[in-house]
């Protein structure tokens, strides 16, 4: 998975293995070894690759995007939902203040 992702990202930028090797300051043989998974880049190099291609290290490793899975949404007007901040429940009075701020009615705030 990792090797294929590196190869696909490199090709999407129309780069040769040599181009990527120069950008990462490694040999062309090293890039080839990554892409065929005969070698695995170290943690620092993996991070550099992710930054270079503007992706996450999780993406490079083929892991699912946890951010999407962990994100939960709720309508702030839903009275059946308990809202928390830093592990503490937000009081109803504060939720009303938040609603007013979000509606842009700051003048209504006491």
Write down all domains in the chain, each with its CATH number in brackets: 2-68 (1.10.260.40), 72-104 (no CATH)
Considering only CA atoms, which of 58, 54, 78 is closest in space to residue 66? Answer: 58
Name every residue whose Cβ is closer than 8 Å to that of residue 26 and which is 6 or more positions away in sequence.
45
The single residue listed with the structure tokens 């009275």 is 79
User: Does residue 80 or residue 20 have the better pLDDT?
Assistant: 20
Confidence of residue 7 (pLDDT cuts 50, 70, 90): very high
Quick: pLDDT tens for 20-59: 999 999 999 999 999 999 999 999 999 999 999 999 999 9
Strand ranges, E, within the chain: 84-85, 88-89
Q: What angle do CA 103, 109, 110 make, to 5 degrees?
A: 165
Q: What is the pLDDT of residue 70?
A: 52
What pLDDT digit, counting tens, does each position of 86-97 carry? 778 888 888 888
């Amino acid at each position: 998975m990792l090797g294929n992702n590196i190869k696909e990202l490199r090709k999407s930028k129309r780069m040769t293995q040599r181009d990527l090797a120069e950008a990462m300051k490694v040999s062309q043989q090293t890039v080839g070894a990554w892409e065929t998974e005969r070698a695995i880049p170290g943690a620092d190099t993996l991070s550099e690759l992710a930054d270079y291609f503007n992706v996450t290290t999780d993406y490079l490793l083929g892991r699912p995007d946890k951010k999407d899975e962990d994100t939960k949404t709720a309508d702030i007007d839903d009275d059946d939902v308990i809202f928390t901040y830093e592990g503490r429940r937000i009081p109803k009075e504060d939720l009303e203040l938040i609603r007013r701020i979000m509606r842009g009615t700051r003048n209504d705030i006491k």
